């Protein structure tokens, strides 16, 4: 299926990540991990607000009480609506000098999940963490090199999670309280087609995965784990997707220009920008952190 990809914001982010649609505000949030900054973008008015951060910001979530929850390098913080820190609620449980937070989101039970990456890349030193509404951080998974692709099925039966350099997409069964069981390998990727980066699940339960270094986003069948659709992009390094728009049928896509050569950027000058694609199946409204 051919898709019409629009560049909606020439952000030129070093490492654009974590697009997040606010249904109430009808705006798109995202981060530039390395700037570091949180952005708030209104696609109708094209108004862009930028909230600089003190250190790398891996991922964010919306809060029921207003403002944001954010995983920065040294720990997890509650932020106000302008991205200013209100309270540090947890330390980075890893070695902060060599491990920063990366991908994450709020789950249907109101917990905030945040995964980390191991920067030396010489071992699987990343972690997958969950912050509960009573503001306690728990390490829920290890043996990860770069934590990515966290998403939850609409029936609350499955949690997806990818490890980008290890070319793996995992799936965890969830009980009624949202506790994950043992992970199983859901799909192995071939690096020639891209590595599994950030993701989102649509209302039919299909998993949409940004293929880093592959220049595309793929839609994966939750039953067969096969790719059933793809969106080809004008950039080679997409990082994450999010459903938004008035009907949740717009797929927003962030991208990266981190560590790219002059030749690569000349070939892909839109790297770091944000793209939008109209899709046939709606996504799911993002839950809010209940803490």
Measure the CA–CA gap between 195 and 192, rounded to whole angstroms. Answer: 8
Confidence check: pLDDT of 1 > 80:
no
For residue 92, say whether it is annotated as part of any ligand binding site. Answer: no
CA distance 22 to 29: 8
Q: How far apart are CA 58 and CA 254, in angstroms?
A: 13
Please tell me the predicted confidence (pLDDT) of residue 85: 96
Average pLDDT of the chain to the nearest whole number: 97
- pLDDT for res 264: 98
Please, which pLDDT band fits residue 100 given cuts at 50, 70 and 90?
very high
202 falls in which pLDDT band (50, 70, 90)?
A: very high
Write down the pLDDT at residue 257.
98
Is 107 among the catalytic positions? no
Q: Using alpha carbons only, how large is the chain's radius of gyration in Å?
A: 17
DSSP state of 184: E
Among 117, 178, 123, residue whose Cα is nearest residue 149: 117
Flag whether 17 is marked binding: yes
pLDDT per residue as tens digits for the range 118-150: 999 999 999 999 999 999 999 999 999 999 999
- What integer is the mean pLDDT of 156-165? 98
Q: What is the pLDDT of residue 291?
A: 87
Strand ordering across the sheet containing 137-144: 99-106, 112-118, 126-131, 137-144
Q: Is residue 175 marked as binding?
A: no
Phi/psi at 263 (5° precision) = -65, -40
Cα 156 to chain centroid, rounded: 18
Calculate the CA dihedral of residues 208, 261, 145, 176 and round it to 10 degrees. Answer: -20
pLDDT for the residue 260: 97
The model's pLDDT over 22-40, given as tens digits with 9 standing for 90+, comes to: 999 999 999 999 999 999 9
Is 4 flagged in the annotation as binding? no
Biggest alpha carbon distance in the chain? 51
Q: What is the mean pLDDT of residues 165-171?
A: 97
> Which whole number is the average pLDDT over 95-107?
95
Query: How does pLDDT run across 102-125, given as a tens digit for each residue?
Result: 999 999 999 999 999 999 999 999
Residue 143 marked in a binding site: no
Burial class of residue 286, CB neighbours in 10 A (0-12, 13-18, 19+) = buried
pLDDT tens digits for range 240-282 = 999 999 999 999 999 999 999 999 999 999 999 999 999 999 9
pLDDT at 219 > cutoff 90: yes
pLDDT of residue 191: 87
Residue of 103, 197, 202, 273 marked active site? 197
What local confidence, expressed as pLDDT, does residue 2 receive? 82
Q: Residue 154 pLDDT more than 90?
A: yes
CA nearest to 15, candidates 240, 256, 253: 256
Q: What is the pLDDT of residues 220-247, one digit of tens each?
A: 999 999 999 999 999 999 999 999 999 9
Q: What is the rounded CA–CA span in Å between residue 94 and residue 73? A: 10
């Amino acid at each position: 299926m051919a898709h019409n990809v629009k560049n909606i914001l020439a952000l030129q982010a070093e490492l654009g990540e974590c697009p997040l649609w606010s249904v109430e505000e009808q705006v798109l949030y995202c981060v530039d991990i390395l700037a570091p900054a949180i952005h708030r973008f209104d696609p109708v008015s094209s108004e862009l607000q930028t909230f600089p951060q003190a250190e790398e910001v891996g991922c964010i979530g919306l809060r029921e009480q207003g403002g944001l929850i954010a995983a920065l390098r040294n720990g997890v913080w509650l932020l106000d609506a302008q991205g200013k820190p209100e309270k540090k609620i947890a330390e980075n449980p890893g070695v902060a000098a060599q491990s920063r937070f990366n991908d994450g989101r709020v789950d249907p039970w109101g917990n905030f999940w945040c995964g980390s990456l191991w920067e030396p890349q010489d071992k699987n030193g990343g972690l997958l963490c969950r912050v509960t509404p009573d503001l306690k951080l728990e390490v829920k998974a290890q043996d990860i090199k770069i934590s990515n692709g966290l998403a939850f099925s609409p029936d609350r039966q499955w949690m997806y999670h990818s490890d980008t350099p290890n070319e793996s997409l995992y799936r965890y069964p969830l009980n009624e309280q949202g506790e994950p069981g043992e992970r199983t390998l859901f799909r192995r990727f071939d690096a020639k087609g891209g590595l599994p980066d950030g993701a989102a699940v649509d209302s039919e339960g299909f998993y949409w995965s940004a293929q880093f270094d592959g220049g595309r986003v793929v839609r994966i069948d939750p039953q067969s784990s096969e790719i059933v659709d793809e969106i080809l992009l004008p950039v080679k390094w997409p990082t994450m997707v999010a459903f938004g728009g008035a009907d949740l049928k717009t797929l927003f896509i962030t991208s990266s220009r981190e560590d790219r050569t002059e030749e690569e950027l000349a070939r892909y000058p839109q790297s770091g920008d944000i793209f939008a694609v109209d899709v046939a199946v709606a996504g799911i409204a993002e839950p809010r952190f209940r803490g």
